[in-house]
Amino acid sequence: MTDAATFWPLACEALAEGDFGQAFALLQAGTLLSAPAEQARYALLAGSLHALYGDLAVEELNLSLSEARRLDPALSEDPLFLALSAEAAARAQGPQAAPPPPQTCTAPDPLARFHALSALILAGRLGEAAAVSLDPAELPAHLSWRAAALQAEAHEGLGDSALAADLFAQAAAGARGPDRAVMLQEGAALRLAQGQLDAAAQALQEARPLYAAQPTDPQEALNLSTWHYLQAQVQLAQGQADAALSEIQAAEQLEAGHGDPSYGVALVQGQVLSALGRTEEALAAFGRAAELAQDGDRPYAQHELAVALLDLDRPLEAQEVLETIAREPGYPFQAEILADLAECDYRLGQLAQAQAGAEQALRQGAVVPASLVLGNVALEYYHLDDALAHFERVIGASPEGSRDWLIGHQMTADILAQQGFREPAQVYSHAQQALEYTPEGDEWQATLQAHRDRAAELMQGGGGRVLN
């Protein structure tokens, strides 16, 4: 006769190598050599393995629980039995499921705490999940990285993305193969959202070799699609729009071959096409994203769609879309919506309404888009000093080399020139910085070169004094 302590460590060794078949065989061997009470314990351990398959093995998990209770009715009060039961219920009922009993979250057995943590995550009880005391090092290798990933998911949902990213890195260190790639990608997504482009790029670079060149497994192929989707975002943020287009097209192809089109891929495709100046195509992509989006995501796609319509100088259509988003109280960029509505008013010649809307948007924190509108309105009134202040604010609030930063320098150089080159050094500086990022053939290039050259002449000839 034997007990679970004999075969469970051997099963864990097999699981550490990803060999679930061998692990189940070892548990079955232990069952055959054990008394009924120990057979019940083996049934629970088999249930723990089934739980790792997620929704695909809920029926098997429930069968394992039923078998454990049949063999040893007293086991129905065991923390591991209660935690696994709560996990099965959470998979079936989601947020409506009862939470695992409190004793499962403080049980001496770390395996029970792991499954209680999983049940709380599945039920959306993230605060309670984050409070579960569980050191991943307490668990066998195949669960240690999964525990770190669950903790990361909880903290991400609670808004602590920095800790979540660190926990995903911890999970990646313990995972293998495609599982490690997924953990690296989860961390990369958070680093990307935090603006840590180098860290995101490094994680993605480590993840790519973990995939097959041409995955045949549908889930692995979709995970690789996510890799391309994230890589496209990193390259777009780094100003490599052409490379980003290749990546997002690869993501789209993998989705088409192994799954369904996603909102995220369509949205990023639109952003990349917009960056490349292919606005009509971007418009179509944003339209697809809006159709594919869930209710909570739809305003993001609609906002991108409205901005693309403005880029195509279709303010009436943009206004209609923006007014729809303005009625979504949960959308976090309502200040930017106000600024974009003000831009629509400006394009439609409603200057007073545009100014009022932009001033409200500025007060609410949409500094850059509101200042662009206010600068343009001031120019319409020929209030050059006011316009200058607004465009200088745009420069100060925008990343170097960004579209808004470039517009700020272009407009500032032009306004200073209109004011008679009173400060030629400033004209030269703004024109030169704008020229460094203005594409060849752009209509601004000749104007900026003329401003820069005239400013240089004045600086050489009169120490900054305007020469007639």
pTM, whole model, 2 decimals?
0.85
Q: Where does 238-350 have alpha helices with state H?
A: 241-258, 263-275, 279-292, 298-311, 315-326, 334-347
Give the residue extent of every domain in the chain.
Answer: 175-259, 261-332
261-332 shares the fold of 175-259: yes
DSSP string, 203-251: HHHHHGGGS-SS--SHHHHHHHHHHHHHHHHHHHHTT-HHHHHHHHHHH
Judged by phi (left if over 0) then psi (alpha if -120 to 50, else beta), residue 3 lies in: beta
Task: Give the per-residue pLDDT at 290.
Answer: 93
Task: Give the per-residue pLDDT at 149.
Answer: 98
**Choices 1.10.8, 1.10.10, 1.25.40, 1.10.150: CATH for 175-259:** 1.25.40
- 47: nearest Cα among 83, 12, 74, 22: 83
pLDDT digits (tens, 9 = 90+) for 122-178: 999 999 999 999 999 999 999 999 999 999 999 999 999 999 999 999 999 999 999
pLDDT tens across the length of the chain (468 residues): 455 567 888 989 998 888 999 999 999 988 888 888 889 999 999 999 999 999 999 999 999 999 999 999 999 999 999 999 999 999 999 999 999 999 999 999 999 999 999 999 999 999 999 999 999 999 999 999 999 999 999 999 999 999 999 999 999 999 999 999 999 999 999 999 999 999 999 999 999 999 988 888 999 999 999 999 999 999 999 989 999 999 999 999 999 999 899 999 999 999 999 999 999 999 999 999 999 999 889 999 999 999 999 999 999 999 999 999 999 989 999 999 999 999 999 999 999 999 999 999 999 999 999 999 999 999 999 999 999 999 999 999 999 989 999 999 999 999 999 999 999 999 999 999 999 999 888 999 999 999 999 999 999 876 554 433
CATH topology of domain 261-332: 1.25.40
Q: Give me the residue label for tokens 């923390």.
A: 79
Task: Give the per-residue pLDDT at 32.
Answer: 87
271 to each of 171, 244, 245, 349, how far by Cα in Å? 31, 10, 10, 28
Task: Give the per-residue pLDDT at 6.
Answer: 78
Report yes or no: 430 and 412 within 8 Å, Cβ to Cβ.
Answer: yes
Backbone angles phi, psi at 26, to 5 degrees: -65, -40
For residue 344, give the amino acid letter: C
Question: Residues 6 or more apart from 220 whose CB is under 8 A from it?
Answer: 178, 211, 212
Task: Give the per-residue pLDDT at 446.
Answer: 95
Question: Residues 6 or more apart from 253 whose CB is under 8 A from it?
Answer: none
